[in-house]
Structures are given as structure tokens and as C-alpha cells.
């Protein structure tokens, strides 16, 4: 994992001004926005695109200039983070959403991840970890920290107990190739890495991935992996 982190840093270390990662911040506290901007200002591969003080302002600015990564609070005036993430995922699927909030409730964490967040951090997170999350989301789609892992496992155990009480449902049948891709996704491999392992083009991998999500009615890769774990299709 350490070597992979180093490679991600190196990948984005020499980006020019033309292909910098465009960042946006949505939070109703100016002091916090200023603190994040200052903390990330020294990262030459990042470009601060804009900031928003509420959800309505955020959605307006997204429609004008789309960021690569959106740092978003949950509790905001006008449109809160829960409603905003639903809109963004329908209209701007390519934007990486990093929830940056004061709430560390496991139910909220799992809910936001299932709705399409790419990472979930608390406002006490060290700036270097925020930077790491940005790079990881750009490279691997998702950033799983200890907070998210605990919430996901707790959600899985909760669903397992419900199934044991009400009876189990028949899992979707994946073919051998789909199961291999699912396992590789769970092992934190990127699309490019998977394509090299199973000798298929990245576009083919993406198509198979989308079909698998549709089969189990999962909105995100995290949801697909959770389905695989829940039904013991992957280790």
C-alpha cells in the first residue's frame, strides 16, 4: 500500500498548469474554507477553481465550471449535502466528491458512500490526508480510510442480521470473468491495472463494470463491492 501511495504522488507531482486537478470547496463557514485553501495552496498540482457558501451556490457554480474534485460539507443552507449528492450523481457523474464534515456517525458515512461519495473525511482530518484522498480519488475513484471501512463493515453486519431474520435472497449469478473483475476491484486495483491482469481493454473493463452494477442495482463501485462481500462472492 505504501508503494502504491508513492506511485500516486509521483503520478500527479509534475502536472502542468494546463492539467492541474481542479478543486472546489462547498462549506458555509468561511473560516474553514480559508483554512482548506491555505492548507492546499502549496500543492502545485492542484488548482482552486471556486468556493461556495451554500448548496444552491454550489450547484450554480458546478453548472458553470465543473471541478475534478468537490470538497463538500453535509450540513449547508439552501441545499444540503444529501440532496446535493443525488443531483450531482445524476448530472455530473465524473466529479469526485469528497465529503468533508464534522459528522462521524457510521450510518451517515455508509449512506453517503452508497449514494455516490468517493471519500468521507471529518474536519479534524490532517491536510496531508485530504491531499492524499484527492489524489487517490483521481487515480482509483475511491479513498477508503479507517472511518469508512468501519462504517461499511458495520453496514454489512447489519444487513447480514436482517437477512438471517427474514431469510436470504438469491444472489445474482456473475460469470467467471465478472467475478475476477469484482475480486480485483475489492483489492483496490484500478481499471488500467485490471486490464493488464486479465488482458482486456480499459473500455471493456468499464463496460463490464457498469453491467455488473446494473445487475445488482448498485449506484457506485463501493456498492458493488459491498454486494460481493455481503453475498460472499469475494474475499
HEC-encoded secondary structure of 52-90: ECCHHHHHHHHHHCCCCEEEECCCCCCCCHHHHHHHHHH
Same domain, 60 and 138: yes
Over residues 106-129, the pLDDT tens digits come to: 888 888 888 889 999 999 999 999
Crossing angle of helices 30-40 and 127-140, in 10° steps, is 70
What's the pLDDT score for residue 56?
A: 94
When pLDDT is cut at 50, 70 and 90, the band that residue 201 belongs to is confident
Answer with the residue of higher pLDDT: 212 or 163: 212
Q: Can you read off the three cell numbers belonging to residue 132?
A: 492524499
Q: What is the pLDDT of residue 67?
A: 96
Instruction: Note down the domain range covering 214.
Output: 169-230
Average pLDDT, the chain: 83
Residues 182 and 70 in one domain: no
C-alpha grid cell for residue 9? 504522488
Task: For residues 111 and 224, state if they share a domain.
Answer: no
- Whether residue 36 is contained in a domain is answered as yes
Q: What confidence tens digit (pLDDT) does each residue in 43-86 have?
A: 999 999 999 999 999 999 999 999 999 999 999 999 999 999 99
* Rama region for 26: left / alpha / beta (φ>0; ψ in -120 to 50; rest): beta
Share of the chain above pLDDT 70, in %: 83
- What is the rounded distance in angstroms from the CA atom of residue 20 to the CA atom of residue 43? 10
* 3-state DSSP assignment of residue 114: helix
At residue 59's C-alpha, the angle toward residues 58 and 65, to 5°, is 85
Same domain, 7 and 67: yes
45 plus 83 within the same structural domain? yes
164 occurs within a structural domain? no
C-alpha span between 137 and 102 (Å, rounded):
20
Domains identified in the chain, total number: 2
Same domain membership, residue 21 and residue 119 = yes
112, 147, 182: which is the final residue of a domain? 147
pLDDT at 166: 38
Element at 22 (helix H, strand E): strand 21-26
Q: How far is it between the farthest Cα atoms of the chain?
A: 56
Considering the domain architecture, whether residues 132 and 99 belong to the same structural domain is answered as: yes
Which of 4-13, 92-101, 174-183 shows the lowest mean pLDDT across its residues?
4-13
Q: What is the pLDDT of residue 162?
A: 41
Whether the Cβ atoms of residue 141 and residue 72 lie closer than 8 Å to each other? no
Per-residue pLDDT at 170 exceeds 90 = no
Report if residue 79 sits inside a domain: yes
Amino acid at each position: 500500500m505504501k508503494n502504491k501511495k508513492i506511485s500516486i504522488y509521483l503520478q500527479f507531482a509534475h502536472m502542468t498548469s494546463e492539467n492541474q486537478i481542479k478543486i472546489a470547496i462547498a462549506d458555509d463557514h468561511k473560516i474553514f474554507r480559508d483554512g482548506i485553501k491555505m492548507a492546499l495552496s502549496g500543492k502545485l498540482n492542484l488548482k482552486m477553481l471556486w468556493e461556495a457558501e451554500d448548496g444552491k451556490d454550489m450547484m450554480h457554480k458546478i453548472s458553470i465550471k465543473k471541478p475534478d474534485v468537490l470538497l463538500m460539507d453535509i450540513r449547508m443552507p439552501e441545499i444540503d449535502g444529501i440532496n446535493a449528492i443525488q443531483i450531482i450523481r445524476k448530472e455530473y457523474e465524473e466529479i469526485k466528491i469528497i465529503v468533508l464534515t464534522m459528522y462521524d456517525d457510521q450510518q451517515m458515512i455508509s449512506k453517503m458512500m452508497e449514494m455516490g461519495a468517493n471519500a468521507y473525511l471529518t474536519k479534524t482530518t490532517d491536510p496531508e490526508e485530504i491531499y492524499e484522498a484527492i489524489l487517490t480519488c483521481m487515480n482509483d475513484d475511491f479513498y477508503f480510510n479507517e472511518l469508512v471501512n468501519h462504517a461499511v463493515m458495520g453496514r454489512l453486519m447489519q444487513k447480514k442480521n436482517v437477512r438471517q431474520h427474514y431469510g436470504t435472497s438469491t444472489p445474482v449469478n456473475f460469470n467467471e470473468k465478472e467475478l475476477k473483475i469484482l475480486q480485483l476491484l475489492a483489492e483496490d486495483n484500478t481499471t488500467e491495472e485490471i486490464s493488464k491482469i486479465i488482458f482486456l481493454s480499459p473500455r471493456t473493463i468499464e463496460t463490464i463494470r457498469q453491467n455488473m452494477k446494473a445487475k445488482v442495482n448498485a449506484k457506485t463501485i463501493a456498492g458493488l463491492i459491498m454486494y460481493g462481500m455481503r453475498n460472499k462472492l469475494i474475499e
